[in-house]
Amino acid sequence: MMKFRSGILGIAVLLICSTLSGCWSSSPVEDLNLETGIAMDIATESSQEEQINQKGGDYPKKELITGTFQFIIPEESGGSNSSSPQAKKFFNITETGDSVFEMLREISLRTNRPPIGQHLKTVIISSSLLRKIPLYELLDFFLGDNDIRLSVQLLISTDKASNALQEKTPGQIPAYILKDIFQNRKRNARLIKPVALVKVVGPMKSKGSFILPNVISTENEIKVAGAGIIKGKTQTYGGFLNESEVEGLMWIKGQLVGGVLKGNDPQTGKNIAYEIKAVKSRIKAIVQGDDISFQVKMTSEGRVSEVFNKKENLRSNAVLGQEESIFQEKVNSLAEQTVAKMQKLQADVGGFGEVLRIQHPKVWRKVKEDWDTIFSTIPVRFSTDIHIEDYGSSITTAD
Amino acid sequence: MWQVIGTHMPKWNVWMEAFFLSIIPLIIFLTVRQIRAMDGRESRRMERLKLLEEEDRSQHADHNPSVSEAEKEEGTFTEDYEANVAKIRQAVTDMSDVNERSIFLEKLNAVGTLFFVDGLTDKVGMDQNILKPLMDWGSSGEGGEDLPRGKELRDMFIRQVMLVSETQYTLEVKFSLQKVLFGSVILMIQGIPGAFVLGTPKGSTRGVEDPISESVLRGPRVGFTETLSDNTAMLRRHGESTELAMSSFKVGKRVEKQLMVVYFRDIADPELVDEVKRRVKTIDMDEVLESGYVEQLIEDNFLSPFLQIQNTERPDRVMAALLEGRVAILLDGTPFALLMPVTYGMMLQSPEDYYERWIPGSLIRFLRFMATTISLFAPALYISFISFHPGLIPTKLVISIISARQGVPFSTLIEALIMEISIEILREAGLRLPKPIGPAMGIVGGLIIGQAAVDAGIVSPILVIVVAVTAISSFASPVYSAGISMRVLRFGAMFTASIFGLYGVIMFFLMLSIHMVKLHSFGVPYLSLTAPRSFKDWKDYFVRAPLQFMKNRPILLKHKDPKRQG
């Protein structure tokens, strides 16, 4: 009987443990605020904040950054009676301060549900803010916070960054639009590879220069256009690559997965367009004594998709060769333009330093301290080989 | 250094958590040990076996030393016909279903009496085969100086008169009483001291039907019935084999029942057969109503949620198991045969796997593994994802889950429990309902309640999907009883998930694995083929390899003859 009683006692203790201790750290999703995007600008207080501050809702801070935090508003779906389709799916909260972390926590005083960063997708930093504050200071919170994933995508905005988070398409969340735009890389050669948070950790530590995609926003639309350069040494904004420079950079890096290359036939003055199917590039560092130079070889395969010239005989190999050479020249000029810009801005974002490091480590050790400046004087030569494989049904004859 | 350790010491609540976590398995362990100690099953088994041995010995040693002459007189028939009839009459005083029929045999110039039970005796057969020959013989012929007397007369009766194949002659009152009450006919004739026991019981039996609990699309449409002789015949009818052994046992103290241990003499491991027989012998119960009783009385671990003896309604399944080297138990009065030993993998095998071609067979078997996992963990994972790890759900899904759960007033555990319990109630109710109402009940329960609960905002639509998938998965198990244990464990998983999140689910899974690894069924580890793994047997585990590959019997079952095909 004694044994039996102790057994019963054991079960009782078990039940008490599991029921009285409660649910450790349980917090159902519907009680959380999902962050989707964060935009950081130079401090300008919103009217809301001014009102708050006037009424005494102030705390000691330097005014450096204005953060715009985007949260999801889940629709109330009460069974079949659906809500109106125009309903906003997100809301933005603006907060000004000098610490991203503190700003985010300050929001907890203004909403009922705690924000979580596990579904944060996009961070947009305005270029003017980056001129003042280096990137590593701005991103430190995102790297340190245990909620936020390293797959968060970084963008630069030459505009006010928070504009990119305003509603453009009804019923869609801007932060997700910005993230999903990069799925279109197959369609456009002017879109750089998306840059995740994890990708900038390395360059930030090694003081290398790199680029972030740039977003501009108009009243009703956003566009990912060009790229912003982050200078290696200072980690601040170092300049802007426009769309064709980005295109050239993509050719140099061989990172294209598709897109269009438009050339102009000098004989007819008409446009011809080449659809890129595959691109490979090979950079070779040539060291002769103290002289360093680079040789970039780019090869591509694709098809002619648009020829305005009606009389063009695409059956003839000579014509095709002619066209190929037009495109090759075009690529070379794009690449040269890009390198010129890079050298002007004294920022190697094309990965030339990396090539040198791998191919001539000894040389690299000598130049790596001041690479960005040295790079601005190094000659780069380009050669392109384009192969047209296909020309669609353009050659179908009438009969 | 001490300072560093001091500053890194966890807070009190972490200590408490760790303490509870370590103490819970300890408490479970101790509780189980207590219950086991209270059960004392194995020691009782040994006691009963000893008792049986002693009984045997005393019977062999001297026939009846203690029984006095008077009592012996009471228990046996004598020369005196009137007294014999009176003894039977005396014994059946309160049994009005026992009929008596007197006859007169002119040839012998003797009276006779027949006793039989209404309903149990085949009356047409009795009229044709017992009464008619008796009367014909008795009235024919000229009379009796040349007729033998006593023993010779008895033998003559058995040899020449009776048209019944089963004819026994006995002097024991109790034996004849047992027989007559079970459907035989007793015949007593003046001048012959004992009694004839004629024929065998012929009760009403159900025809052979498609097994309900294990239906297959392809395969024999034959299921066991309640009659033991029919069932054994079904096994015999599978084909001609001289090695199919059936040893008979009597189980039940007050109501005796016949139990058959079936095995192949040249395949089954003799140790296994002996162990089964030993355990069967220890059954000491008023009546063994169903094979479920046998199962629970002889299984290894009665505290486990898993069944360690498989039950089946299908003769082809039994035959396949026997040919693998397993042992079957058939019990009179139930269509469920027991198969032992069993491993977890066998629970997920259906006879159909082998009848269909191997590719679909393998695919479907793999699906069953998945279905088991789903039925065990789906609600638990739902709870832990929703309330602990929203970051693990894809973004688009989490948004729709949030909007779906906006109006739900309960925590995820309560929400899931509401739906799970109502599904279980539905299942139970559907089982009890008369057949014509069953589908209607399903529609009302499944569709209307589900839809209404969502509309009323009691549960979220996502949960309804989870619960429905879980319920369907739990029915995908080919052995119904195996599915039940998964359903029970599901609730445990849900509770741990609601307390500890994914961590709790993993802990639950680990504890379950520990238990399963430890579990044995008649000496065979329950998780055989996985742990201890035997790659040679994997041909028939996750996949069902082509029959051409399965040349040997499974190694995990020790058997005499490893080769199954050339």
With CB atoms and an 8 Å threshold, state whether A28 touches B412: yes
Q: Return the structure tokens found at B65.
A: 């030393």
pLDDT attached to residue B200: 67
Q: Return the structure tokens found at B326.
A: 């397993």
Helix segments in B391-448, DSSP class H: 395-405, 412-432, 438-442
Q: Is the minimum CB–CB distance between A21 and chain B shorter than 8 Å?
A: yes
One-letter identity of residue B226: E
pLDDT attached to residue B500: 83
With beta carbons less than 8 A apart as the criterion, state whether B262 and B328 touch. Answer: yes
pLDDT attached to residue A19: 58
Q: How confident is the model at residue B120 (pLDDT cuts 50, 70, 90)?
A: confident
**B414-462 pLDDT, tens per residue?**
889 999 998 888 888 888 888 888 778 777 777 888 888 888 888 998 9
With beta carbons less than 8 A apart as the criterion, state whether B386 and B401 touch. Answer: yes
CA distance A113 to chain B (A): 13
CA distance A343 to A296: 16
pLDDT attached to residue A78: 46
The pLDDT tens digits along chain A (399 residues) read: 666 777 777 777 666 665 555 555 678 888 888 999 999 999 888 888 888 888 888 888 888 899 999 999 887 654 444 555 557 789 999 999 999 999 998 888 888 888 888 999 999 999 999 999 999 999 999 999 888 999 999 999 998 999 999 988 887 889 999 999 999 999 999 999 999 999 999 989 888 899 999 999 988 889 999 999 999 888 999 999 999 999 999 999 999 999 999 988 888 888 889 999 999 999 999 999 888 999 999 999 998 888 887 776 777 788 888 889 999 999 999 999 999 999 999 999 998 999 999 999 999 998 988 898 999 999 999 999 999 888 777 666 655
With CB atoms and an 8 Å threshold, state whether A176 touches B395: yes
Bridge-partner residues for B69, per DSSP?
A: none
In the stretch 34-53 of chain B, residues with CB closer than 8 A to chain A read: 34-35, 37-38
Q: Is the ipTM of this complex over 0.95?
A: no
pLDDT attached to residue B71: 62
- Residue of chain B nearest A22, judged by CA positions: B499
With CB atoms and an 8 Å threshold, state whether A10 touches B405: no
Q: Is B122 helix (H, G, I), strand (E, B) or coil?
A: coil
With CB atoms and an 8 Å threshold, state whether B30 touches A7: yes
In the stretch 129-188 of chain A, residues with CB closer than 8 A to chain B read: 147, 149, 176
With CB atoms and an 8 Å threshold, state whether B407 touches A29: no
Choose the weakest-confidence range: A63-72, B264-273, B454-463, B528-537.
B528-537
Question: Which of A28, A80, A116 shows the shortest C-beta gap to B387?
Answer: A28
- Residue of chain A nearest B495, judged by CA positions: A18
In the stretch 17-36 of chain B, residues with CB closer than 8 A to chain A read: 17, 20, 23-24, 27-28, 30-31, 34-35
**B174-212 pLDDT, tens per residue?**
888 888 888 888 888 888 888 888 876 666 677 888 888
With beta carbons less than 8 A apart as the criterion, state whether B442 and B313 touch. Answer: no
- Residue of chain A nearest B461, judged by CA positions: A79
pLDDT attached to residue A79: 44
Q: Return the structure tokens found at A21.
A: 């201790």
Substitution target in B29, B399, B463 with the highest count of A β-carbons within 10 Å is: B399
With CB atoms and an 8 Å threshold, state whether B393 touches A121: no
Q: Is B328 helix (H, G, I), strand (E, B) or coil?
A: strand
One-letter identity of residue B100: E
Across the range B466-475, mean pLDDT stands at: 91
CA distance A74 to chain B (A): 5
pLDDT attached to residue B61: 64
pLDDT attached to residue A150: 92
Question: Which of B405, B454, B500 shows the shortest C-beta gap to A79?
Answer: B454
With CB atoms and an 8 Å threshold, state whether B495 touches A18: yes
Residue A58: CB atoms within 10 Å: 10
* Alpha carbon distances (Å) from A312 to A330, A391, A395: 20, 12, 9
- Residue of chain A nearest B400, judged by CA positions: A74
Long-range CB pairs of A282-289 (<8 Å, 24+ gap) are A282/A254, A283/A252, A283/A350, A283/A351, A283/A352, A283/A355, A284/A355, A284/A359, A285/A352, A285/A355, A285/A356, A285/A359, A285/A360, A285/A363, A287/A360, A287/A363
Question: Which of A4, A76, A176 shows the shortest C-beta gap to B407?
Answer: A76
Across the range B84-99, mean pLDDT stands at: 84
Choose the weakest-confidence range: A73-87, B15-29, B81-95.
A73-87
**Residue B496, pLDDT above cutoff 60:** yes
